[in-house]
């Protein structure tokens, strides 16, 4: 996938790397009851994994139980106070090093994808995920780079979806939280065998350009849209 080089709308000081989740052969690590697994991004888990987690209460119940210990550890390691509050059915992740926090649905697992700062996803529905990407910038405010629609269209076409997919921006808007400007936008990306419906939030602070993106398969959008809106609306940064 092409990188975003010297886009007039994003200024020469802002460079974005390709989005690893859009590559078909990325791998990530996850854990289930202390067992390390390797699962391919955007592909279903191996049949043996699915079979194992179907025992005693169903796939999602076991996956959810397995994530509790890691979530407790994550909260202990990141005890900084953020404005985001927990909500029923969600867990809070806060990064006190890079200065951001957001909520993600209970049952999603943290995975490791090269080039992304944090990724949480449902390993049964791999298109359901939330990821945070950080890149350095000399800009101080997201509005320095252009309008919400201009920046959203550039990011979607050159960063958030591979060139082979047909994309459409549905809505882009600006909102303010504690004096900080955020852009949020909704879009779809159509591949030959699926369509992903996604939401993103972007802002600038701490010398970084922050991007949070969450989404789901279009066939599950009606079921997931409220949860995904909670994820993107919860995204906040603080000065560090």
- Residue range 172-230, pLDDT digits in tens: 999 999 999 999 999 999 999 999 999 999 999 999 999 999 999 999 999 999 999 99
* Residue in 62, 74, 59, 65 with CA at minimum distance from that of residue 110: 74
d(CA 166, CA 192): 9
Whether the predicted pLDDT of 24 surpasses 70 = no
| Residue found under tokens 């029923």 | 88
> What pLDDT sits at residue 123?
87
The CB density around residue 4, as the number of other CB atoms within 10 Å, is 19
β-strand partners of 44: none
| Residue found under tokens 């591979």 | 162
Cβ atoms of 160 and 19 closer than 8 Å: yes
Whether the predicted pLDDT of 97 surpasses 80 = yes
Task: State the DSSP string of the chain.
Answer: ---B-S-TTT-TT--B---GGGSTT-EEEEEETTEEEEEETTSPPPHHHHHHHTTTT-HHHHHHHHHHHHHHHHHHH-----S----TTEEEEEETTTTEEEEEETT-EEE--TT-SEEEE-SSSTT-EEEEEEEE-S-S-GGGG--HHHHHHHHIIIIIS-TTSEEEEEEEEEEEETTEEEEEEEEEEE-SS-EEEEEEEEEEETTEEEEEEEEEEGGGHHHHHHHHHHHHHH-EE---
Whether the predicted pLDDT of 124 surpasses 60 = yes
More confident residue, 118 or 4: 118
Domains present along the chain, CATH in parentheses? 20-237 (3.40.1000.10)
- Residue range 71-94, pLDDT digits in tens: 434 444 443 444 445 789 999 999
Which whole-number Å values give the CA distances from 222 to 30, 118, 124, in the listed order? 27, 25, 18
Whether the predicted pLDDT of 33 surpasses 80 = no
Per-residue tokens: 176: 């303010």
d(CA 207, CA 151): 18
């Amino acid at each position: 996938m092409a990188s975003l080089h010297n886009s007039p709308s994003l200024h020469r000081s802002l460079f974005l790397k390709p989005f690893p989740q859009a590559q078909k052969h990325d791998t990530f690590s996850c854990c289930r009851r202390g067992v390390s697994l390797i699962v391919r991004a955007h592909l279903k888990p191996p049949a043996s994994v699915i079979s194992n987690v179907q025992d005693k209460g169903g796939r999602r119940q076991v996956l959810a139980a397995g994530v509790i210990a890691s979530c407790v550890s994550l909260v202990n390691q990141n005890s900084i106070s953020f404005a985001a509050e927990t909500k029923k059915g969600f867990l809070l992740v806060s990064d006190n090093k890079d200065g951001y926090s957001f909520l993600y649905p209970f049952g999603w697992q943290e995975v490791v994808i090269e080039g992304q700062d944090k990724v949480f996803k449902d390993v049964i529905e791999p298109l359901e995920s939330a990821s945070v990407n950080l890149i350095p910038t000399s800009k101080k405010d997201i509005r320095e780079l252009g309008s919400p629609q201009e920046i959203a269209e550039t990011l979607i076409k050159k960063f958030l979806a591979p060139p082979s997919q047909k994309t459409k921006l549905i809505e882009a808007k600006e909102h303010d939280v504690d004096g900080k400007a955020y852009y949020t936008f909704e879009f779809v990306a159509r591949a030959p065998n699926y369509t992903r419906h996604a939401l993103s939030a972007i802002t600038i602070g701490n010398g970084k350009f922050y991007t949070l993106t969450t989404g789901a398969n279009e066939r599950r959008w009606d079921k997931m849209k409220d949860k995904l809106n909670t994820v993107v609306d919860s995204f906040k940064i603080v000065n560090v």
